[in-house]
């Protein structure tokens, strides 16, 4: 029996990047595509709790959902698939997902939703953002990374964030393990007026640069490397334990903890009900 792969994204079920990766992953296993029915970029880890979802089957093991990327992975895991996936994949994202931008990415969140349930997870992004662009290199690299992931176990709750630069393969110096960097965006709220003179707003300005953090994914990506960053959902800042222990709140005593100065073990992940 062929292993199963669950694939989603935030650019929509018809996105060329998703389809390019789906084609390459067919060499590795049975690909299940469950993706948003429209563009859902920057949806982050939002999930729909206060409205019903509509699901349309577009073909064999191919579905669109009128919800967020996380909705797609959730219904894929718990309703649509006829067995557990060997890996949950987000991508190919149209545009890089680097540094603090990963907090907004629906493609990253789709993969993280799989990681939260204990499945190996990979997010693949390309520097190519044009829908008419060539995603073949990112699909090739993404499939190779995923094939390697399938050969050995990953830590639970972890996803690999893979970013593939533009350019011919011969000009890419290699693949590099990186930490997340930090991108600075210009603060901007654009104000417009509709034909009835009522204001409406666009948020988000232009990219204003990035911090020169050693071994960051942004620096390496700008140098032409393929970058891989392992990301865990545990957002605890272990460096701040001492600061929190020194907090004094009138009327309440500080209770001793057993956390030490760092992570003793990864938090457990949710288990899928059989």
96-119 mean pLDDT: 96
Give the DSSP letter of residue 239: G
pLDDT for 31 equals: 98
Q: How confident is the model at residue 25 (pLDDT cuts 50, 70, 90)?
A: very high
C-alpha–C-alpha distance, residues 184 and 237, integer Å: 21
Q: How confident is the model at residue 113 (pLDDT cuts 50, 70, 90)?
A: very high
C-alpha–C-alpha distance, residues 44 and 189, integer Å: 20
pLDDT 10s digits, 249-273: 888 888 888 888 777 676 667 665 5
Compute the C-alpha angle 67/82/148, nearest 5°.
85
pLDDT for 210 equals: 67
Q: What is the mean pLDDT of the chain?
A: 91
pLDDT for 132 equals: 83
* Sign of the alpha-carbon dihedral angle for 29, 35, 40, 44: negative
pLDDT 10s digits, 66-103: 999 999 999 999 999 999 999 999 999 999 999 999 99
* Sign of the alpha-carbon dihedral angle for 234, 238, 240, 242: positive
Within 13 Å, how many C-alpha atoms sit on residue 109's CB side? Answer: 23
pLDDT for 19 equals: 97
pLDDT 10s digits, 200-215: 998 876 765 666 788 8
pLDDT 10s digits, 31-48: 999 999 999 999 999 999
Domains (ranges, CATH) in the chain? Answer: 4-181+212-232 (3.40.1210.10)
Q: With 90 as the cut, is the pLDDT of residue 3 above it?
A: yes
pLDDT for 272 equals: 56
pTM of the predicted protein model: 0.91
CA 153 → CA 68, 201, 215, distances in Å? Answer: 28, 46, 25
pLDDT for 209 equals: 65
Q: With 60 as the cut, is the pLDDT of residue 127 above it?
A: yes
Peptide bond into 56 cis (omega under 30): no
pLDDT for 207 equals: 67
């Amino acid at each position: 029996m062929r292993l199963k792969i669950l694939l989603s994204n935030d650019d929509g079920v018809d996105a060329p990047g998703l389809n390019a990766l789906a084609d390459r992953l067919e060499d590795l296993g049975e690909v299940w595509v469950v993706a948003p029915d429209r563009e859902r970029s920057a949806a982050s880890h939002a999930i729909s709790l206060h409205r019903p979802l509509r699901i349309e089957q577009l073909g064999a093991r191919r579905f669109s959902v009128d919800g967020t990327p996380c909705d797609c992975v959730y219904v894929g895991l718990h309703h649509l698939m006829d067995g557990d996936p060997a890996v949950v994949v987000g991508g190919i994202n149209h545009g890089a997902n680097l540094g603090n931008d990963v907090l907004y990415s629906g493609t990253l969140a789709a993969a993280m939703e799989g990681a939260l349930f204990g499945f190996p997870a990979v997010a693949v992004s390309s520097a190519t953002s044009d829908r008419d662009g060539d995603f073949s290199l990112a699909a090739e690299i993404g499939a190779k990374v995923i094939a390697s992931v399938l050969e050995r176990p990953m830590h639970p709750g972890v996803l690999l964030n893979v970013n593939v630069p533009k350019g011919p393969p011969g000009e890419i110096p290699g693949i590099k393990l990186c930490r997340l960097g930090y991108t600075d965006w210009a603060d901007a709220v654009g104000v417009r007026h509709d034909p009835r003179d009522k204001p409406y707003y666009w948020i988000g300005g232009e990219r204003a640069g990035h911090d020169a953090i050693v071994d960051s994914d942004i620096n390496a990506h700008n140098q032409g490397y393929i970058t891989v960053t392992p990301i865990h959902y545990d957002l605890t800042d272990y460096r701040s334990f001492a600061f929190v222990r020194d907090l004094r709140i009138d009327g309440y005593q500080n209770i001793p903890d057993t956390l030490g100065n760092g992570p003793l073990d990864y938090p457990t992940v949710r288990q899928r009900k059989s």
